[in-house]
Structure 1
Amino acid sequence: MSAARQSTDAAETGRPFSRRAVLGAVLATAAGLTAACGSGSGSGGGGADSFTYWSMWKQDEPQAKVLKAAIAQFTKDTGIKVSVQWKGRQVIQQLAPTLNTGSVPADLVDSSDRFAYAQLQATGQALDLSPVLELPIPGETGSTVGSVVPAKYHSLSTTAGTLWQLPYEIITTQIWYDGHALPDVAAKPPATWAEFSTLLAARKASRGDGPLALDADVPDYAAYWTYYAVLRGLGPGAFGKAATDKSGALLKAPGFVDALRHVEALVKADDFTKGYDGSKWPAVQQKWAKGKSDFLLLGTFAPSETSTFASSAFTYRSFPFPALTSGGDTSQDISLIGFSIPKKARHAAAAQKFIAYFLAKERLQGIATQAKNITPRADIAAPAELADAQKALATGNVVKTLDGVKETAAEWYTKVFLPLNTSFLTGHLTAQSFANKLAGNSASYWRTAS
């Protein structure tokens, strides 16, 4: 299983610069960093010569190797020692019980955005990282954290004025295909639902089987189809608003049902490959990688999950979920992986210096070249297999995956939405019956939750 998939549930070479230049930049701005970050930084203050970092990665993963190299160089350049513990995906959950004590064991932590929100921001235990946006990037004249991490990314990790995470890795969802096998699609990907439907019909006629790959036993994967249909039909925020509607009425409103009917049409037309409704992950996506189906709706971890099953000629290409109508919504969903600092961290200022240090192009580009993922910096090219996804992020509006429902209504999503949605995607519910049941079950859930 890929690192990126686990974290959610879940190349361009930089210009070289001398170590002396990095050291000079860090030392020259040390006083400014302390002043900017000192308030709320805990008892360690800005003069700390060490800090403790808990990471979501295991030490043999590619991201960990990139971070290890940066940490070693950071210590050489600044004299600040970093005690790092490679905790794995449950890092925030392990840290959570200590956050309201006088002895928080980590000054810096990284995780997926939804866990950072739930365990840090929602509990009032996240340090506001807004001042970090003003910090200079060591070795990059004129660059600050805020200038290299676009606002469209860090604004999605800002709640009530508190910036609770700064991202270093971006995950988005695309429809994947083999560009070598489907050169016509590569030349002109479908931009609208009508074009997509025409393409599916042609591919189904050619194959004698549905061209869409889905392991329906993974509820999150089925959820992508429904979420994107609602996003395209009703726009950003509509899914999240409906999810938290305590009456349930928005979940069966005409516009919501109309969006669902696009997915219902795929199911009724047998556009999903045979056996998808009884598959055991990763059977169908392996089948897709072997060329036995055409299209896979999945996050940017798809290449890393499937590459061992693909032929040497397989060329990873992707396109965004099509707009329902010409000129309709084309927003691209994103999940973030990044740094957070507990409010009671003792050496927060030193941790903040490392954030700015790691976001330098020379170091951050390892997330693309070695870990094979997209970074928030536009001047770091994604690996070739993610080039289409990076282009989609650069040219379109971005929104939080599932409208942030995994953060703000996680139990509703898991207990109410996912079971019904899987029944819908596997043909056991029509769009209208799915909407009716979802509305009723949601209203019952929120009465109890309230």
Structure 2
Amino acid sequence: MRIPFTRNARFAAVAAVTALSLTTLSACGGSGGSGSDSKSLEMWTFKQSHVAALRTAAAQFKKQTGITVKIDAYTPDDAYTTKVQSAAKTGDLPDVLEVHSDGEDRVLGAAGVVSDIKGDFKGAWAGRMQDAVQNSGLVTDARFKASQPTSAKDHGIKNGARYSVPFTAGTFGIVFANKKMLADAGFTKPPASWEEWLDMLKKTTAKDPKKGGISLGLKVQATGLTWILQPLAFAQLGQQPYEALFKQDKSTDFASPNGTKVLGLYDQLTPYWMPGTQTLTIDEGDQAFAQGKSAFDVGGTFTLAFLKQNGMNPDDVIAFGLPSPKDGAVPQRALGPQALTGLSVAGTSKQPENAKKWMEFLSGEKVAAQFAKDSADLPATELGADSEALLGPTLSALVASFKGTPENTYNPSPDVDFRPSGYEQDDAGAILADLTPLKQQSVGTTGQKLSKLIDSYWAALR
């Protein structure tokens, strides 16, 4: 199951846990899923692609500690939410839960479903994590302030608490290419620029008009905006002019020459969308690529695991970060990682110390590198240079997409402060879809509509 960029719906569903758990957990007492056996833990995940890799790690953990870890998956996400809700009512939660980072973990923490482990995540354990995700799971002053309204889904969290530790990390704006289709069109390497990628698309589409283009789950309206347009805009304009697109200055917003330039670049993809891509969900777009119905697929680092799950060999894929225009302000743009999933200790666990030992074990460099290879997903742990031989070329390319300086790294997180409060990226994505692939609006009209939409959010604040 893919992790979509917009998580509001997921948090709304999980927030239902809050309403029932604060009363039921104390009433039930809860025994934890692993019972009273001090040498046995239970962990739940919502990602089927993680199960085999976690079980391999669990076998190593047992050899090292004598502690057994039972891994269970409940998918899709809605089924996982329902399972957690039910277990919270009866006190039958496992010892460890894999959660969506920086949202779901806080909702569960506010409900008392998961524990505050701020005193444990420190030293070597914390030091293994990538710098960009160090604070994931932590209730910062800003997050605590945002939780104060009673309508907030994480109302009740404690300032300074930590309700999860980072487990997997990734980024958006990753392009996956079918290695054979590229070779048939005369290409063996990733494109070095936006212009080279367009040339690839032109030739793969000429080779096969129906299957030579790009698939992307554009039925989820924010994907084109957040996974292509925004990193493209950052690369073309640079950080400050990119952020200015979302601000109140008419001379620099989406209707300005800068906005028109970026929208024009994005519109260059119009001839190359896979037929019907605007009707596909995220998973369906990836499945189309895995089935050979497109030469390219746009997603995130986490997409590779889903492709593997759908029968595609990672060695048959060339992966690269969305290319930057040659004449752009940031021609060598990097894509900043963010925490995608975390690990939490259930509030009912009778073995919290063993649960934390297991979570720390998973953060070890060698264990994390093996997890990455087995799951085709990237850990939050900073992997050493010698891990490249273990990971292989495709996973190593995903890791390489993170490498950059603060000045040339695009931050994909929605939790940034240059956009107006209340901004909904799905609304902006819907406007963008009318430009491409639907071809119902011009570049100029699209810029004006985006400018008007963003103005409405700023006006609401005034």
Name the TM-score class by shorter chain: 0.5 to 0.7
Query: Which residue number in structure 1 is paired with residue 299 of structure 2?
Result: 298
The number of equivalent residue pairs is 393
Q: How does 1:319-398 map to 2 (within 5 A)?
A: 319-325=320-326, 328-339=331-342, 341=344, 351-375=355-379, 376-379=381-384, 380=387, 381-382=390-391, 385-394=394-403
Q: 2:375 is paired with a residue of what secondary structure?
A: coil
Q: CA deviation at 1:222?
A: 2.2
Q: 1:180 is paired with a residue of what secondary structure?
A: helix
> Whose RCO is larger (CA < 8 A, sep 6+)?
1
Q: How does 1:215-364 map to 2 (within 5 A)?
A: 215-223=217-225, 224-235=227-238, 245=247, 250-267=253-270, 270-278=271-279, 285-306=286-307, 315-325=316-326, 328-339=331-342, 341=344, 351-364=355-368
Q: Can you list the C-alpha shifts for 1:211-257, whole angstroms capped at 9, x where unaligned?
A: 333343232432312222223234458767755x4789744444334
Q: CA deviation at 1:111?
A: 1.9
Mind listing any 5+ residue stretches in structure 2 that lack a counterpart?
A: 8-37, 142-159
2:101–2:136 Cα contact (<8 Å) kept: no
User: Which has the larger displacement, 292-301 or 89-98?
Assistant: 89-98
Q: Can you list the C-alpha shifts for 1:262-300, whole angstroms capped at 9, x where unaligned?
A: 102322xx1323333455766665554454542222223
Q: How does 1:41-190 map to 2 (within 5 A)?
A: 55-57=44-46, 61-68=48-55, 70=57, 89=77, 108-116=96-104, 119=107, 127=116, 129=118, 132-134=121-123, 144-154=124-134, 160=140, 165-172=164-171, 173-183=173-183, 187-190=188-191
Distance verdict in 2 for CA 1:208–1:420, change over 3 Å:
same
One-letter amino acid matched to 1:321: L
Query: Which residue number in structure 2 is paired with residue 421 of structure 1?
Result: 432
TM-score by length of 2: 0.65
One-letter amino acid matched to 1:420: I
Aligned alpha-carbon RMSD (Å) = 4.9
TM-score by length of 1: 0.66
1:196–1:322 Cα contact (<8 Å) kept: yes
Query: Quick check: 1:430 aligned with 2:417?
Result: no
User: Which has the larger displacement, 290-299 or 247-256?
Assistant: 247-256
Distance verdict in 2 for CA 1:448–1:290, change over 3 Å:
same
User: Which has the larger displacement, 186-195 or 205-214?
Assistant: 205-214
Distance verdict in 2 for CA 1:217–1:359, change over 3 Å:
same
Q: Measure the CA separation in 2 of the matches of 1:318 and 1:220.
A: 22
Q: Measure the CA separation in 1 of the matches of 2:224 and 2:293.
A: 19
Q: CA deviation at 1:318?
A: 1.5
One-letter amino acid matched to 1:265: Q
Q: Measure the CA separation in 1 of the matches of 2:334 and 2:359.
A: 28
Q: Measure the CA separation in 2 of the matches of 1:363 and 1:308.
A: 21
Distance verdict in 2 for CA 1:83–1:301, change over 3 Å:
closer
Identity of paired residues, percent? 15
1:62–1:371 Cα contact (<8 Å) kept: yes
